[in-house]
A and B are shown apart, each in its own frame.
Chain A
């Protein structure tokens, strides 16, 4: 336990001191929200209140992007020999991954709060009950955990920090092909099929339904996607990490 806590403390400290990371994970989502609310928002007439519509999408985009920075943190460690030191010590060295994932969750909690706060300033008035808020945040937590473990595994096998950062770009663009910014019904049919069935969509839909007080139409799909991803991603990351000792 001391080992895991020590490595969590390390990762949190390292990410707090990485100014680029702090700026990218907070300022970028806030800027994107401003862009969508003030620039594109006026032109989107398919929904009643665009700010209420777009904030859940931004939250999912921001957490997805934020979680994927775990890949860079892990890849950085792998390339530096720090991981070799940990692996030559009598500790379960994959706790170094737990450290990075926990730091990622903490980072995303801060970023999500900042985005919600900025959203409130921009006129976001969700009619959600406290229970709905808790459920929405709980879903985001599972989503962040699952993606963080997935990207941690990606960071283990990535050859460099640069290639590890690819995942972030992927997560930055995936929400565009979903209901995050415009209703899926406005898309051409072939794209609609993609958008409706990609994993990010049910997460966005569920968070939005919870926050805007509308019925959750996708049911258990979102928690199932995220939970399922977590169940696969965690052992995968640990296995990938262990496997490097056989090389």
Chain B
């Protein structure tokens, strides 16, 4: 090494993001002062991102077990058994901060990271979904972010060759300084071919595979530290740059090496790069590792051990070879023009030994790195919540013209059709996509079987800020309901929990409550949470985002042919509304889009009714009794019906009536849980009614399809009567109009 290392002090540790207490903790654990490189290892492994210091205690509340679970949290991704020898592997992850700094590359590398998490499990990725949140599109900075993020996702996913089949995009001013980019990936693997991030057998060769290591993504805190400045000849950008082509080669090489039996364990070099892999893999297996950094393929000259260990260069993996199969690893990666270099060995442990040209630069017990301190700081509800709850939305004036109110809502950026984004995404590569973006859930077939899976993501920050517990539960319920509307049985959950700083008591309270809500809903619906991600510190100058848990659900259809979509298929079908009647304008999209208010109370929720409604919809779709099924979400019943009319290949009109209500806007635009609109052909009405009776859920007929208009009556009074053409114009062009 050329330049002298900075002297290790408590101040340096602080500069790297550790607290004084944590620094003392490290000294006690090692029985000495850490060396500079060792401090770097601790700073990375004990960061919130890697160690879940503030969230672990709460996350244990989430149910993680169930009959289908093949792999729960703690690996690269979770896995569920879907029958016929197949497993579905899936996970959602955030890339919020990088996307704000550089929207195109930030979003692109977010896609790259989650793809690697899936194929390190041995699964071939078959679908991507993106859950995005942005500030007000009237702000030109927001428009630039939207364009950058969407084109970054498009570029990486399309070039790699995995279809993007779903997700959401919502807008609220609270996200202006902290957009959310959450990406979910779903893959398929034979149940007996799942790979794990382990380093089991002592003596096994450890390979570095993929792209070379540069200075990208080295922790920003490092760059800012004064001690480091003196020796840094040139500042490097910390933005990581994605290479989807190399990722595609890495996918093929990994799957080929796995199929050949040459791989014993494998992990993606994601956050904290090589430092993370070399400590987490042995930590899971109770072993150690001895690694030579001089062998790591490097893109830039003069990198220090610290930089090599903490680099977040993309498209790299750490692979433990099966005994005696080292040459096969080299041969297969060479075939795909990729580096595969043996950089060390698995040892009996407990130490992780890092060397440079044979000289140890770090020697740390693996368990010390893996066992970061946990924090349970105080938490308390934010002040002012009572006032928000006390607000009565009906104190605001009712719309003078309900046609205009509905059309305005349909054209609002959050509700308007998202084709502008998803036409930039390949939705079909792999030829599995039976239902493309634009319905409640995407449906993909499982080739070689009669089965299909349905996938979706959901999350509503406005609901969560008003009532984190109920909001968290609603996110799970709505995602599962979307999957049920496609005809699938929800099987499992992955969650991405986006919050502000956990060091603020009110944020931690929101987090704790939301996790309780998610856990309660998952227990009620029998859904295990098999993986996910926590993203804290989403705030700028003290302004936190709306607390936004995003929930991804995977469901199973035994018969791929028996799936449903949300749009009406023809005239003369009867329309039913399933689920309870109670709705609220509190926290609704209508209240925000029309009145700019975020206040009120959410409608009550009965998780047992939710479960029964989902089972009823799924049974009705499975029996072929309904021609359309659509969840009532943002914008309430009126928006759901309008979408049923115009989101399909051909427009179909409808007329519907609901009973007397406090006010028509409450009835039409109010939001409530467990509500689904379905359409039934006249010949199947009897059977449908019998099934509903058996399901023991609240439900009723509300109208029928036909004509060229949408007509809505409340308490016997005609309130809305709009031509479909007007509805379609507003809804189809709304997003582009806002982004123009």
Task: Note whether A and B form a binding pair.
Answer: no
